[in-house]
Amino acid sequence: MIEALHHRGPDGYGFYEDGQVGLAHARLSIIDLEGGSQPIHNEDRSIWVVFNGEIFNYLELRSELQRSGHSFYTRSDTEVIVHLYEQHGLDFVHHLNGQFAIALWDCNRRRLVVARDRTGIRPVFYTVHGGRLVFASEVKSLFARPDMPRRLSPTGISQVFTFWSAQAPATIFEGVLSLPAGHMLVLESGRMDVRKYWDWEFPVSRTAARTIAEEAEELRSLLVDSVRFQLRADVPVGAYLSGGLDSSIVTTLIKHFTDTPLRTFSLTFEDQEFDESDYQQELVRYLGTTHTAVRCTRADIGAAFPRVIWHAETPIVRTAPTPLLLLSERVRAEGYKVVLTGEGADEVFAGYDLFREAKVRRFWARSPKSAWRPLLLKRLYPYLKHSPVAGRAFAQSFFGQGIDDVHSPWFAHMPRWRTTQRLWQFFTPEARAEAEAVDPFAEIARRIPPEASRWAPLSRDQYVEAHTLLSGYLLCSQGDRMAMANSIEGRFPFLDHRVIEFANGLSPHHKLRVLDEKHVLKQAVRGLLPERIRTRTKQPYRAPDSQSFFVDGRPLDYVGGLLDERRVREGGMFEPAAVRKLYEKCRAGRAIGFADNMAFVGILSTLMVEEMFINQRPVRAETMPRVVEAAVAGRV
């Protein structure tokens, strides 16, 4: 099982077994390079722990615990976990500032504790099979057990084809569960309990608000502290620099408020629609950073896609994770194991167009027959070549979905989710019937707390976004998996829980001021960034989709094989004739809309998941490492 996770920790293995529990760890050495090997135990060896991630406030915790009489035998951040558990029991997680997947064994109580960090940066999967609880950081580790059943879950697939990811605890594999973010699993005396210990919370009412200037000053101080915490390492630390506001803030805080040498990495694209190199180079010159840019072509995306799916372990509806896999590969080649990124700022400070769009739609809903209110949508999506607001009739039809239900907790998300759900038309009647047997929105509804109905509309939008796209897709398929594929640890200063809790308490108007997204965040870094970057409109990270899988109208070999009508029919999930029609449209370069591109990538990646993990056959591409091909074929 642990050998299947070698890419997550290539610096050594560690094991513990006592007859009732077995723990294993693959180490990526970042702190205490010589003495921090796991599993780690307390003084009398009654508590053992393995964990993936980092505890950023470990130095402060270590000092507190030593004053309370605890003895340490390593300099590792891991060791604070066992002593915190001794001191506080199951409440130990509340003291951690970090990103983690933890498995702790209490020998005396015969208690197993598995915990996942607050926002879901590090993954945890588990299943109960043959009377045993089996858990790991990735599903391929569970599948290392030869008796593990392998079947795709119609519920999980239908959620991917709605929300872009399966919604924890569901996964795309039958019988395999994902521990939700901010939760812990406790197994004791034969009883298993999954409980929530943290969540995104918003006030139902607000006291007199401070000025934006006061809030901006406090926010800057908090972000500086978060960045300093997350730079802690015994190895060099780099940073991603996309050219957008969020990564620019992280890099400029490193430059102005720390002594860490600033080493940055970025992606550039041959397609101007996706390329942000102009902004990247402006900031590189401004900060004087040592910088590496990785140019990504359509051919690169097509060649690397099988490796992406092997590491993501799920269908995806966009190719965007692929360039990030190639970027982390370059980071590792340059001798780095850790990078800071700007991920999470959009969820925390309302940066996405979705939030601005929802504000316009709510304004429109107050006078649904107005001819001019929908025109405000034209202020959105200036970066899109084929913008959904370009045609007035289409824009009103698209954004008008659900406009009569402004109190729905997913009012902001309905146009997007319905667009993605159009992919269901490619299911066979049998697969669609299975998907429709479980309402995908019901699971979201169960996760929304009752008090959310009294939150500000923007707060509800942020909550849903954090519990769907962020934890399920951005931090998983596009974050952890693509970095860890190359043994790189990504860190996210904007997802420090102190930053989230501070931002959640702000007035919505200070985050989204009229249609100016992340307003208070922009004020917090006034004078630290070039104004063109500080005030630029949000441009989401994207990459070429279906066009990456064809060269002059010819499909890449693995693409043609997987989308062959006979192969599609054997899979039993998609209607061959509908897939063939879509295939021909993409091959001819006529798939320009989001729906067609998402359908193509989603269908292709689903068939790849089935081939790799269910049929256990490799999907070959020139750049696919031999170790991956061997693992898929069951030889590892």
CA distances in angstroms from 238 to 253, 324, 381, 413, 424, listed in the order given = 13, 15, 31, 34, 41
So what's the pLDDT on residue 385? Answer: 53
**Whole-prediction pTM:** 0.93
What percent of the chain lies above the pLDDT cut of 70?
92
Give the separation between CA 225 and CA 422, rounded to whole angstroms: 44
Burial 346-363 (b: 16+ CB within 10 A, else e): bbbbbbbbbbbbbbbbbe
| Residue 69 in tokens | 């009489």
Residue 582, number of CB atoms within 10 A of its CB: 23
User: What's residue 33's pLDDT?
Assistant: 87
Distance between CA 209 and CA 218 in Å, rounded? Answer: 14
CATH class, range 3-196: alpha beta
| The predicted structure's pLDDT at residue 388 | 55
Query: What is the C-alpha separation between 515 and 458, in angstroms, rounded?
Result: 12
Cβ–Cβ contacts within 10 Å for residue 521, how many?
26
pLDDT band at 380 (very low <50, low <70, confident <90, very high): low
What residues contact 621, with CB distance under 8 A and at least 6 apart?
302, 303, 304, 305, 306, 307, 556, 558
**Strand ranges of the sheet holding 125-129, from the earlier edge strand across to the other edge:** 132-136, 125-129, 177-178
Does 155 score more than 70 pLDDT? yes
Question: In this predicted structure, what is the pLDDT of residue 633?
Answer: 47
HSE, CB side, 13 Å, CA atoms: give it for residue 403.
Answer: 22
- Considering the chain, tell me which residue range(s) the CATH 3.40.50.620 domain(s) occupy: 212-348+468-534
At residue 591, does pLDDT exceed 90? no
pLDDT category, 151, cuts 50, 70, 90? very high
Rg (CA), the chain: 24
In this model, does residue 395 exceed pLDDT 50? yes
Q: Which of 118, 488, 555 is nearest to 302 (CA)?
A: 555
- Through-space distance between the first and last CA atoms of the chain, rounded to whole angstroms: 10
- The mean predicted confidence, pLDDT, of the chain is 91
Cβ-based neighbours of 609, under 8 Å, separated by 6 or more: 152, 172, 309, 313, 314, 315
Whole-angstrom distance, CA of residue 600 vs CA of residue 609: 14
Task: Read off the pLDDT of residues 32-80 as tens digits, 9 standing for 90 and up.
Answer: 888 889 999 999 999 999 999 999 999 999 999 999 999 999 999 999 9
- Prior bond to 374 cis, omega within 30? no
Cis peptide before 169 (omega within 30 of 0): yes
Ordered alpha helix ranges (H), 334-466: 345-349, 353-365, 392-399, 414-421, 429-436, 440-447, 457-465
In the chain, % of residues over pLDDT 90:
78
pLDDT at 19: 87
Question: For 362-371, how does the pLDDT look when each residue is reduced to its tens digit (9 = 90+)?
Answer: 888 888 666 6
pLDDT confidence of residue 636:
32
Cβ within 8 Å of residue 475, ≥6 positions away: 119, 120, 121, 343, 492
> Does residue 629 have a pLDDT over 50?
no
Compute the C-alpha angle 574/575/577, nearest 5°.
140
Q: Mean pLDDT check: name the lowest of 89-98, 407-416, 506-515.
A: 407-416
CA distance 432 to 443: 18
> What confidence tens digit (pLDDT) does each residue in 235-281 have?
999 999 999 999 999 999 999 999 999 999 999 998 888 889 999 99
- Quote the pLDDT of residue 539: 78
Compute the Cα dihedral for 396, 402, 405, 410 and give only its sign.
negative
Q: Which CATH class is domain 212-348+468-534?
A: alpha beta
Which position has the token pair 């590496």? 292
Q: Where in the chain is the domain with CATH 3.60.20.10?
A: 3-196
Q: Which one-letter amino acid corresponds to residue 429?
A: P
